Amino acid sequence: MTAVGSGPASGSADDLVRAKAVLLDQHGGRRRLAPDALRTALVDLHDFWLSSRCAAIGITDRAALVAVGALGRRELCPYSDLDLVLLHDGRKDVDRLAEQLWYPLWDAGVGLDHSVRTPGQAVQVAATDLRAAYGLLELRHIAGDPALSEKVAQAVRQAWRAGMRNRFDEIADSARDRWAKVGDVAHRVEPDLKSGHGGLRDIQLLDHLAVAQLVDRPSGEVLEARMLLLDVRTELHRLSGRARDVLRAQEADEIATILELGDRFDLARAISGAARAVAFAAEVGLRAAKAALPRRGLSALRRAPVRRPLDSGVVEHAGEVSLARDATANRDPALVLRVAAVAARTGLPVAAGTLARLAETAPELREPWPRAALGELLSLLGTGEGMVDVIEALDRTGLWGRLFPEWGAVRDLPPRDRAHVWTVDRHLVETCAQSAKLTTRVSRPDLLLVGALLHDIGKGRGGDHSEVGESLALQIGRRLGFGPHDVETLGAMVRHHLLLPHTATRRDLDDPSTLRRIADTLGGSPLLLDLLDALAEADSLATGPGVWTPWKRALIRDLTARVRAEMIGEPPPGPVQLADSAAKAAEELVALVVADGTAQLRLLAEDDLATVVSVVPDRPGALSAAAGVLALHSLDVHAAEVHVDRGVAVASFAVSPRFGGLPDPMLLRSELVRVLDGTLELGEALARKERDYAPTSEVAERTAPPRVLWFDDEATGAVVLELRGRNRIGLLHRVAGALEKEGIDTRWARVETLGASVVDSFGVSGSGPEGHIPRPDRTRIEQAVLVAAGDRPVPTR
């Protein structure tokens, strides 16, 4: 540290800050330090300044400065706070020493967490404050009396071991509460590298349990994971210029390049694998530590736990699922899955020793699987949420990959769509868990469960994942032992798992050709239709919050009912968009507008949706004006239908309030009239609302630029314009206005919200024969829509 140490030696904390800036400087021809080298340099720099300062102010005998936290562990990232403890053994001038040590750091803007303790106080606070105990367990001497530092370190460790039996429940509960609050590092699109399940704090937890002599030190796999997580966190600090623990997509590409890990998707996959190793080790470590707690008093006299039978070859022992003494996977091919199914049903974890024994001895199942093995698989999948942790345990020990070799391509695979909150493999498991709640809706629950587990199995291999997945599902179905017809159904489920949601939210459901096309695609099979209907719901629920909305549910149920009627030759049910009450309201309002020419509006409340009927004299801007007024009052529009009746434009909107209740319909009508007569400038009002309520710029940065796609229905000549972009307040108003200015009639609109993104579909017609829109006109229209959609439009090919 001689190159940067001469400045801090003077004792000025400003020199410390300047020397740190030199280390972080990426310009001026200096070679960029690798993340581990940077951490080492930062630790040496702070150690040097602190020891020099301590010597200058007289921290020598009967006093010592120790580091805890990141500096204590030698894991100091660029913008981590300093955690320091000034120990003393009754020195009278300790307040002066503390002031001369802390104040220069504060004045220089160095983040600091500090305390002053005697040895007795240090042990006492460690006995009562879990966070303080964790820090003191990581104590490292910096300057002053080393014997004092060692005395406190030994006393804290001894008290930690002695009191472990009484505080273990607090330790375990604290960890599980943190996991529930922050979520998984392995499966989150934007993980918390420090506090998430599988993050750096879990590695520290293993270290603390090892100090208590309850578990071994972390394995080599966990230590490798620690290095990766630390390197990513170091670069995240350096890149963002502040202390950050949540890795966002816009930073991941640059960090991946710096660490030579490809792109952000490669980085996400590496982080997921590392975090899963840590999470598994932490969970196993907590269970092992609990079993290793010393027994005292009467508990020491109790007999060892009895092995309670749970199923053939499976017992409960000490609160875990274990193998019976005579059970062997070589003679019982369904044993692995039976153990997993029992664990999922009972909520008990599988013992680590049992997993290791099965991983060593369980053979690959022959094709087709024995009937008992398929039965145990279905029993496992049917437990719903109970299977998630069990499958994770099987996957960490290689057993799940042995059952499903195709799983390797999706393991730890990050999603490309930002609406997804899970990695692809976890999404498959979550979808299967959601489908377990829907098994009573279908006649073949076994096919629903397996189809849900496999619906995205084709991802990560290139090409259309539905087509690739179909061939894999056929292969897996045959291996599992399903009959030929069931195998075909599984393949069709995977191939067409997006058919219903895409059609329901982006196409005109009143068009008979749409229904016929779906019925033909599904081979006229009501069974397949019902399976896809349930799968669409499970898939949406497992994607992320806000994806399965009441409106989407209504659309898909309506589409399913219409296609089923088409399949069996019955008349289709009435449209979900216009209920009888809305149609009656439209007739009444049309009569009023025809009579006096004044715009009318009515709001009809329903269970979880509402319908707004707007009737105005037919003129350009009618749809955009009504849509803008609704957006101004925080109403999310899910669909719109437009038609002209007796010279007036009738628009019906399916809406729901973004927050709060429904607005006053008289106020909606009043503002619609003002917009139409020009006394309310809607564009300015929406711009103000967007400034106040729109998502942050960080959310905007994470969404892709808008795109426009065109679809032509050869059977009917209908034209569909599909906009994919960022969800903005008043987006429907802007796009409808852009189409109106281009002379395009909008017949209907569908809005599908996927997190911060939307897919808006518009049934449009132009001036050509039967409403056709020539290609040169489409380019112009497309650019107008992109400009209306956002400030980063890109032309599509």
- Supply the DSSP string of 178-238, one letter for each residue: HHHHH-BTTT-SS-BTTTSBTSHHHHHHHHHHHHTTSSPPPPHHHHHHHHHHHHHHHHHHH
Euclidean distance between CA atoms 645 and 591, whole angstroms: 10
Structure tokens at 689: 């609302």
109: exposed, middle or buried (C-beta count within 10 Å: 0-12, 13-18, 19+)? exposed
- Pull the structure tokens for residue 576: 């979900």
601 DSSP β-pair partners: 614
Per-residue model confidence (pLDDT) at position 714:
53
Q: What is the pLDDT of residue 579?
A: 52
Find out whether 518 and 509 touch, Cβ atoms under 8 Å.
Answer: no
The contacts of residue 179 (CB under 8 Å, 6+ apart) are 196, 197
Domain 404-568 class in CATH: mainly alpha
The Cα–Cα gap between 107 and 12 comes to 10
Which part of the chain has CATH 1.10.357? 2-162
Could you give the residue range(s) of every CATH 1.10.3210 domain in the chain?
404-568
Burial class of 375 by CB neighbour count within 10 A (0 to 12, 13 to 18, 19+): middle
Q: At the topology level of CATH, where does 2-162 sit?
A: Tetracycline Repressor; domain 2 (1.10.357)
How far is the C-alpha of 45 from the C-alpha of 23, rounded, in Å?
Answer: 10
Q: What is the largest CA-CA distance in the chain?
A: 98
Whole-angstrom Cα distance, residue 409 to residue 483?
26
- Tokens 């500096």 map to which residue? 71
Residues with Cβ within 8 Å of residue 143, at least 6 apart in sequence = 50, 51, 54, 55, 59, 64, 65
Give every residue of the chain whose pLDDT is below 70, as ranges: 1-11, 26-31, 295-305, 418, 572-580, 606-608, 692-704, 713-717, 753-757, 791-797
Nearest CA-CA partner of 75 in 194, 157, 176 = 194
Domain with CATH 1.20.120 in the chain: 165-291
Q: Rounded to whole angstroms, how far apart are CA atoms 506 and 681?
A: 31
**Which tens digit of pLDDT belongs to each residue from 88-139?**
998 899 999 999 999 999 988 899 999 999 999 999 999 999 999 999 999 9
165-291 domain in CATH 1.20.120?
yes
Look up residue 422 and give its two tokens: 């899970």
Q: Per-residue DSSP letters for 315-372?
A: EEETTEEEE-TT--TTT-TTHHHHHHHHHHHH-PPBPHHHHHHHHHHPPPPPSSPPHH
Q: Is the CB of residue 290 less than 8 Å from the CB of residue 172? A: yes
Q: What is the pLDDT of residue 154?
A: 96
What's the number of CA atoms in the CB half-sphere (13 Å) around residue 543? 22
pLDDT for the residue 370: 94
Are 721 and 518 a contacting pair, CB within 8 Å?
no
C-alpha 364, offset from chain centre: 33
- Residue-level pLDDT at 536: 97
Q: Which residues pair with 323 in a beta bridge?
A: 314
